[in-house]
Amino acid sequence: MTRIFPSVSGAGAGDFAHTPWDGSHPNFRIGLEPLGERSWIEVDVMFEHQLGEKQKLLATRNNDVFGAEPESIAAQVEVLEMVLEELAQRHGDTHRREGDTVLARGFSVDLGDAAMPPLEKAARLVQEDLVIMMKGEDLDGEEGWRLVAGCVCFPSSWLLAEKLGKPMEQVHAPVPQFGPGTKKAMMINRIFDKLRAEIPVLRFNWTVSADGDLFHGAGTTGKSDRSYDSAFLRVEVQTLHKMAHSGAILFTIRTHVDPLAMLESHPDRVRLARGLAASLSMLDTPQWHYKGLARAREQLLARIDAIASDAV
């Protein structure tokens, strides 16, 4: 299969890396499944591009993309150890360690650099964004899971600096049906409580974007005014790991961005497009607005329907 349209995510084999938008993973569902034998670190042809973007953002927008509370240091060290172990076991073809230096396709990280936080070292080695949650009291004395550290260079309409230190209910406050006091917010806390270190879990998140930018930190305001003539399918592969020593949770986010035009030339375009149309039709008005798609709704659905009817 030949890839006609270039992919920002770089699935590499002439196909989409993941298609949760095909009807198999409806939006605004928790939808967890065991990770199984899959590696929770994905390395593809966009490795150099995405790590280059991370380096730029960490140099120019560090306060927006990296943050950590002092209490997170032990968990950060544990995350770095987990990343190094996974790379050694599953990605020896792209990553190698020489003493205190890890080399990967032209990039290097000095593990002995005392000035660099452990979580940043880990994030500079992988395409995934990394977030740490710990259980404890918030400012109001309520017990729950809080976002205590993160390196999030490829956010989907949010900034780490706005979420750091907040409980998960407030982190998800803008998301329809996931804010404080909702059933799904309570479910997430229960899921976090019951996570087991030996069983990491996986979920997908996806949306349609007006551009292929990896960094979407400006929020959804104003996005609905943009043209979706050259729309992109944005997929997040998310994993959750209960850490054995610190008891914290590692949340990873691997972002893929592919032009919608790829779907128009895909051999299985009719089935995939019908699934995408069905998934979008399930969104209610607040969900369309949250994703910044409200004004583009008819335009998007018409284009996807044309693909589904094989009229392109």
The yes-or-no verdict on residue 127 having pLDDT over 70 is yes
- C-alpha 129 chain-centroid distance: 7
CA atoms within a 13 Å half-sphere pointing along the CA-CB vector of 159: 10
Share of the chain above pLDDT 70, in %: 89
Structure tokens at 55: 């380096």
**Average confidence (pLDDT) over 90-107:** 97
Query: How many Å apart are CA 66 and CA 44, to the nearest integer?
Result: 24
Of 69, 178, 191, the residue nearest 132 (C-alpha): 69
Q: Is the pLDDT of residue 10 over 50?
A: no
Could you give phi then psi for residue 256, rounded to 5 degrees?
-120, 135
- Provide the pLDDT for residue 262: 94
Which range, of 147-161, 167-181, 226-240, averages the lowest pLDDT? Answer: 167-181
The 3-state secondary structure of the chain reads CCCCCCCCCCCCCCCCCCCHHHCCCCCCCCCCEECCCCCCCCCCCCHHHHHHHHHHHHHHCHHHHEEECHHHHHHHHHHHHHHHHHHHHHCCCCEEEECCEEEECCEEEECCCCCCCHHHHHHCCCCCEEEEEEEEECCCCCEEEEEEEEECCCCECCCHHHHCCCEHHHHCCCCCCCCCCCHHHHHHHHHHHHCCCCCCEEEEEEEEECCCCCCECCCCCCHHHCCCCCCEEEEEEEEEEECCCCCCEEEEEEEEEEECHHHHCCCCHHHHHHHHHHHHHCCCHHHHHHCCCCCCHHHHHHHHHHHHCCCC
Residue 181 banded pLDDT, cuts 50, 70, 90: confident
Mean pLDDT of the chain: 88
Give the mean model confidence (pLDDT) for residues 52-72. 97
pLDDT band at 144 (very low <50, low <70, confident <90, very high): confident
Phi, psi of 139 (to 5 degrees): -65, -20
Q: Which residues pair with 150 in a beta bridge?
A: 67, 131
pLDDT band of 140, cuts 50, 70, 90:
low
Predicted pLDDT of residue 224: 46
Domain boundaries, the chain: 20-259
pTM for the model: 0.90
From CA 5, how far away is CA 161, in angstroms rounded?
A: 35
pLDDT digits (tens, 9 = 90+) for 184-233: 888 888 999 999 999 999 999 999 988 899 999 865 434 444 567 779 99
In terms of average pLDDT, the best of 48-62, 126-140, 171-185, 201-215 is 48-62
Q: Which residue has the tokens 């335009």?
A: 299
pLDDT surpassing 70 at residue 141:
no
pLDDT in tens, 268-310: 999 999 999 999 999 889 888 888 888 888 989 999 999 999 8
* Distance (Å, whole) CA 182 – CA 161: 24
Q: How far is CA 201 from CA 30, 31, 38, 239, in A?
A: 11, 10, 10, 6
Non-local (6+) Cβ contacts of 216 within 8 A are 154, 155, 156, 157, 209
Give the separation between CA 258 and CA 211, rounded to whole angstroms. Answer: 10
| CB 127, CB 49: distance < 8 Å | no
Phi, psi of 216 (to 5 degrees): -120, 80
